[in-house]
Amino acid sequence: MRLSPRALRAAQAAWRECFPLQGRDVARWFPGHMAKGLKKMQSSLKLVDCVIEVHDARIPLSGRNPLFRETLGLKPHLLVLNKMDLADLTEQQKIEQHLAGEGLKHVIFTSCIKDENVKQIIPKVTELVGSSYRYHRAENLDCCILVVGIPNVGKSSLINSLRRQHLRTGKAARVGGEPGITRAVMSRVQVCERPLIFLMDTPGVLAPRIESVETGLKLALCGTVLDHLVGEETMADYLLYTLNRHQLLGYVQHYGLDSACDDIEHVLKRVAVRLGKTRKVKVLTGTGDVNVIQPNYSAAAYDFLRTFRSGLFGPVMLDRDVLQGCPPADTPR
């Protein structure tokens, strides 16, 4: 939905300049960084020729686990930024420059749902492996790739998409909408015949420390941690703040609101009523208990988040602040 420039200016005047981050304990939102999974990957390293790190294209510059490159960095590395169908890539070149500045020269944007750009991966991997020294593996004719990444970014979906593209065959890895579907490093799965290429899927591994509360909120919006650990209403509030700042006002039309608004309580109330998500609550009054119908805020927040994640509010770039040179306000300097 597009507002007229005048209406937009009026609405923007009332929008928040920043999101309140104080008093939020990001460490409690994320489970331990799953050191066991990382150790297992390290021990598989001698069996592989290349590492594909999958990350979410909506947060191309934040939330990656630095330990992947520290512990697996011996092997050629390709960064696959997946879910490009949900990401606003207007500034793709700037993103690539930013990543190149961090030493990440090999980057491919993909959508495993739409099988977009997935065909570029095997030629790139072949090129990277061909131009590197294959420790212990020079005599092997096949090539083996380790797929790593934080939870829920689409690692298993990538394996399935590659198999669809190169082998015209179905699923090999389990996919799910919640983080933590893949629990163990898998045995090798073939994804291509010529050249002969195998992949190994791994469980999602988060960084041991999330760099800032805002990064934590972005990671939560992308579904890398179970929603209830952060709180659906907190996440819905951060989502509303982001949508308004990015002028992604599709939510207004989607839920039949009168106008854009920056007050999450007001928005969730309207969403709940619109969806018929209300609940009876007993209230103690001077004359006894009375049943009151109240909006179900958490059900409304859940719907708001789910609709955003399905892309119905439009493509988004959650790292716009980092791209513009303003890292999250609470990032330690």
Ligand X SMILES: Nc1nc2c(ncn2[C@@H]2O[C@H](COP(=O)(O)OP(=O)(O)OP(=O)(O)O)[C@@H](O)[C@H]2O)c(=O)[nH]1
Check binding of 157 to ligand X (CB under 6 A): yes
For residue 222, the minimal CB distance to ligand X (Å) is 9
- Beta carbon nearer to ligand X, 118 or 261: 118
Phi, psi of 287 (to 5 degrees): -105, 15
Binder of ligand X out of 62, 156, 242, 244 (CB under 6 A)? 156
For the record, the structure tokens of 213 come out as 């509360």
Q: How far apart are alpha carbons 26 and 232 in whole angstroms?
A: 14
Check binding of 203 to ligand X (CB under 6 A): yes
| Residue 36 annotated in ligand binding | no
Binding mask 106-145 for ligand X (x = CB under 6 A): -----xxx--------------------------------
HSE of 101, CA atoms in CB hemisphere, 13 A: 8
| Residue 4 annotated in ligand binding | no
Check binding of 185 to ligand X (CB under 6 A): no
Check binding of 31 to ligand X (CB under 6 A): no
For residue 103, the minimal CB distance to ligand X (Å) is 23
For residue 246, the minimal CB distance to ligand X (Å) is 18
Check binding of 65 to ligand X (CB under 6 A): no
Helices assigned H by DSSP within the chain: 5-13, 26-29, 35-44, 66-72, 92-101, 121-130, 155-167, 213-221, 227-230, 232-245, 250-254, 264-275, 297-309, 320-323
- Beta carbon nearer to ligand X, 160 or 242: 160
For the record, the structure tokens of 208 come out as 């041991």
For residue 127, the minimal CB distance to ligand X (Å) is 23
| Cβ–Cβ under 8 Å, residues 156 and 174 | yes
DSSP designation for 288: E
Q: What residues form DSSP beta bridges with 111? A: 116
For residue 161, the minimal CB distance to ligand X (Å) is 8
Check binding of 176 to ligand X (CB under 6 A): yes
For residue 219, the minimal CB distance to ligand X (Å) is 13
Check binding of 60 to ligand X (CB under 6 A): no
Q: What residues form DSSP beta bridges with 50? A: 145
Binding mask 252-281 for ligand X (x = CB under 6 A): ------------------------------
Check binding of 327 to ligand X (CB under 6 A): no
Contacts 24+ apart (CB under 8 A), 273-282: 275/299, 275/300, 275/303, 277/303
Q: What would the DSSP string read from start to end of 213-266?
A: HHHHHHHHHTTSS-HHHH-HHHHHHHHHHHHHHTT--HHHHHTT-SS----HHH
Binding residues: 82-85, 152-157, 204
- Give me the residues that bind ligand X (CB under 6 A), please: 82-83, 85-86, 111-113, 149, 151-157, 175-177, 179-182, 203-204
Binding residues for GTP, as ranges, are: 82-85, 152-157, 204
